[in-house]
Structure 1
Amino acid sequence: MIATDDLRFFLAIAEAPSLAAASRALDVSPPAVTQRLRALEERLGTHLVDRPGRHLALTDEGEVLAERGRAILDALGELDEALAARRGQVVGHLRVVAPLGFGRRHVAPVAAAFQAAHPEVAIDLTLSDRLGSVPEGTFDLAVHVGEIAGAAPGLIARRLAPNARIVCAAPAYLAARPAPAIPDDLRGHACIALRENDEDVTLWRFARDGREARVRIEPRLASNDGEVVRGWALAGRGVILRSEWDVADDLRAGRLVRLLPDFAAPEAPVVALLGARRRARAARTRRFLDALAAALDPAPWREPAA
């Protein structure tokens, strides 16, 4: 006989790349995870996990247990939710994924407020700029900024807010050189690249009057952290191409200056991605999505229309 706690334990292992990662997710020591897994395998009389090198690989029996166990836990969660709904409550475990910077600034406050309003909901917010590397079955809702590439098929997308991408630099940087008049002028500037979402970050694209212009920059500085890139730009180290949500306050305050205003970079809208599984249609997921949409409408980084 297998208990629901055993199923939750095994799913944590199945969704982790290693036993060390599983131990962190379960908040127990690696030896404790190994011991409990061994005891579960002995009780079931079957081998569930192979460990080639440092990685985990489920056996055929492990795949069956993970698939059936996930379905059982989903069904139990739906039962709890249905009974709670009759009492006017929202319950359950909500797993949200969001980009690092945007998640800290705009998703985390919504998550805290939502949990305070619905104490029976437990929220797990994971911040990652590599949505494609996050398995679809490990989240109920993901927030993504920009073009959707590498996400699992079958995800349901909902647009949350507009978000332009803007070329800009600090006044101190521009004091020593003329501002670019056309995209090709960027080749003579110190450009700063942000590595994210597996994009070709050194190819900057623009459009004007229906014509596209592409510029291959040679970054003097590059980072995978948006805060670092923005900090370099504020310090006068070069030109950046950043999301409107990240630089709007700096532009309004004059800490950064918009460049090439007549050339539009590709939009990077904020979208929510719902998993295809039934959990994504749960009341807690729908209500959290509505709360997030309300917080982003109108987009807090845009000036109200006159």
Structure 2
Amino acid sequence: MNPITDLNNLRLFAEVVEHGSFTAAARSLGVQTSKLSRRIRTLEEELGVRLLNRTSRTLSLTETGRQFYQHCAAVVAESVAAKDIVDQTRTTPQGTVRMSCPVALLSSGVAAIIARYVQDNPNVQVLLDATNRRVDVIEEGLDFAIRVRVPPLENTDLAFRQLGVSAQILVASPALIARHPAPTSIESLRDWPTLAMSSNSERFVWHLVDSKGMATSWAHQPRLATDDLDSLRVAAIQGTGVALLPREFVDADIKAGRLRQLLADFATTPGLVHAIFPSRRGMVSAVRHLLDALVAGFDEMNRSI
């Protein structure tokens, strides 16, 4: 069977029955009595039956109308319940959040922020894709993806929110430092073994700025090149070479004495850690609160460095 053309007419019919008259129902709904009467007549014509017995003084249900009203009332109740579910997701964090994040950022403290958020919000489930590939937020059905980019950011139709900043610093193990004279410039690292992120061109260059904002580039041939930051970190701790790694990624190692920073006046241009998402409009509470937690978490991490 074909469904009723306009489900709003079911609600209007239920209102008429519950108020006992077209006039009272029209007043409650804020519509004209004549318009409401026409809508009910249209519903009866579509169904091919009379639902209401009308006189100038009284209004009563036919037997079919009485049975039909029970179903209409159930439909209205279900629509209210459905709206309540949506309203709850907009106010109280609940439901599923789908996100992606680079592996190194997770190891730098983002994983701890997410775990704390999930613990504090038991009605929220987070589905996290830990990946270094460039994801398509819309195609993959993600609520948001975390990225790190050096400004200016690319033009995109996606919305974004800045979470923090991330710069890379030069680090080495105490054992490696003990075997070489203290470096006084980038060039003085010439005799030091180095580590680097993989390069498609197999040309390895560190691009750094000093405390005065002066840029410098230094080409080198690393002992180890990989696209896995944690492998570089482990190699640096073992004394294999000097590495250029995100500050927050090695902060715990520096504090524990496993690594030391070299040439403290030099670092990469800070990249913006940001979340991209389809739109700010209609963002559910679980997503909004998780983004708030990430902003607060990055602020706390930056203060501790």
Q: Is 1:98 matched with 2:98?
A: no
Checking the alignment, whether the CA contact within 8 Å between 1:100 and 1:129 is kept in structure 2 is yes
Checking the alignment, whether the CA contact within 8 Å between 2:137 and 2:144 is kept in structure 1 is no
| Structure 2 partner of 1:82 | 86
RMSD after superposition: 3.1
| Structure 2 partner of 1:127 | 130
Checking the alignment, whether the CA contact within 8 Å between 1:168 and 1:239 is kept in structure 2 is yes
Map of 1:46-85 to 2, 5 A cutoff? Answer: 82-85=86-89
* 1:211-232 superposed Cα distances (whole Å, 9 cap, x missing partner): 3211112111012222211111
| Structure 2 partner of 1:237 | 240
| Alignment-mate amino acid for residue 84 of structure 1 | Q
Please identify runs of 4+ aligned residues in structure 1 that moved more than 4 A. 78-81, 148-152, 198-201
Aligned equivalent of 1:287, options 286, 289, 304: 289
Q: In percent, how many aligned pairs have the same letter?
A: 30
Map of 1:109-258 to 2, 5 A cutoff? Answer: 109-130=112-133, 132=134, 134-137=135-138, 138=140, 139-147=142-150, 153-195=156-198, 202-208=204-210, 209-258=212-261
What TM-score do you get using the length of structure 2 for normalisation?
Answer: 0.62
| Alignment-mate amino acid for residue 287 of structure 1 | H
* 1:228-273 superposed Cα distances (whole Å, 9 cap, x missing partner): 1111111111000011111112222332121122223221343222
* Residues 240 and 301 (structure 1), Cα distance of their counterparts in 2 relative to 1, 3 Å cut: farther
Which runs of no fewer than 5 residues in structure 1 stay unpaired?
Answer: 1-77
Checking the alignment, whether the CA contact within 8 Å between 1:186 and 1:217 is kept in structure 2 is no
1:289 partner SS: helix
2:270 partner SS: coil
Give the count of matched residue pairs.
221
C-alpha distance in 2, partners of 1:101/1:201? 23
Checking the alignment, whether the CA contact within 8 Å between 1:230 and 1:240 is kept in structure 2 is yes
C-alpha distance in 2, partners of 1:119/1:100? 25
* Residues 253 and 301 (structure 1), Cα distance of their counterparts in 2 relative to 1, 3 Å cut: farther
1:154 partner SS: coil
* Residues 255 and 110 (structure 1), Cα distance of their counterparts in 2 relative to 1, 3 Å cut: closer
Shift of 1:180: 2.8
C-alpha distance in 1, partners of 2:258/2:279? 43
2:110 partner SS: helix
| Alignment-mate amino acid for residue 83 of structure 1 | D
C-alpha distance in 2, partners of 1:183/1:81? 59
C-alpha distance in 2, partners of 1:79/1:107? 33
* 1:26-49 superposed Cα distances (whole Å, 9 cap, x missing partner): xxxxxxxxxxxxxxxxxxxxxxxx
Checking the alignment, whether the CA contact within 8 Å between 1:167 and 1:259 is kept in structure 2 is yes
| Alignment-mate amino acid for residue 87 of structure 2 | L
* Residues 266 and 260 (structure 1), Cα distance of their counterparts in 2 relative to 1, 3 Å cut: same
| Alignment-mate amino acid for residue 105 of structure 2 | F
C-alpha distance in 2, partners of 1:256/1:185? 19
Which runs of no fewer than 5 residues in structure 2 stay unpaired?
Answer: 1-81
Checking the alignment, whether the CA contact within 8 Å between 2:161 and 2:275 is kept in structure 1 is yes
* 1:118-177 superposed Cα distances (whole Å, 9 cap, x missing partner): 3443321010122x2x11212212222343799782232322223331101111112222
| Structure 2 partner of 1:298 | 300
What TM-score do you get using the length of structure 1 for normalisation?
Answer: 0.62
1:173 partner SS: helix
| Alignment-mate amino acid for residue 86 of structure 2 | A
C-alpha distance in 1, partners of 2:202/2:165? 22
The structure with the largest alpha-carbon Rg is 2
| Structure 2 partner of 1:4 | none
C-alpha distance in 1, partners of 2:179/2:107? 34
Q: Identify which range, 103-112 or 251-260, moves more after superposition.
A: 103-112
